[in-house]
Amino acid sequence: MIDVRWCGDDEEDRRLVPLYVLVNGRTHPRNTSLDLATQVIALPADTTALDPEYRAIINRCETWMSIAEISAKLDLPLAIIKVLVDVLLERGYLALGAPAQKTVADRWLLETILASLQKL
């Protein structure tokens, strides 16, 4: 008997649904500010109802990660990743930004560290 597989040799590599079905045929993200360097991070949420491709993105984004890195690590086309990330952003599974864009809440601590460094 011949074993027919769609994408690869592993069980996880089988893709029975084309990627464009996952994004309802969308070809572009609604958020036009998404680019290769856009950083995203996963938010705490129940992901059991999501398709495996969406869960794979969320699992990779435990720390800040760019859209280009997600595409490379998951070996999926960049255009599809941008739309998948856009869907996850809309549903509240991912947060948009970059670690450097976080505001520092404790200015006193930073001033104390700066003063200590200046004494050295």
CA-wise closest residue to 95 among 50, 57, 64: 64
Per-residue pLDDT reduced to its tens digit, 74-88: 988 888 888 899 989
Global pTM reads: 0.64
Joined together, the tokens standing for residue 113 give 């560290």
CB atoms within 10 A of CB 30: 11
CA angle (31 as vertex; 89, 36 as ends), nearest 5 = 85
Select from 1.10.3470, 1.10.10, 1.20.120, 1.10.3210 the CATH code of 19-119.
Answer: 1.10.10
Q: How far is CA 116 from CA 8, 61, 110, 112, 119, in A?
A: 57, 35, 10, 6, 5
Per-residue pLDDT reduced to its tens digit, 15-43: 566 666 776 767 677 777 788 888 999 99
Return the DSSP state at 13: T
Return the DSSP state at 8: -
Specify the pLDDT at position 16.
60
Each domain of the chain, given as residue ranges in start order, spans 19-119
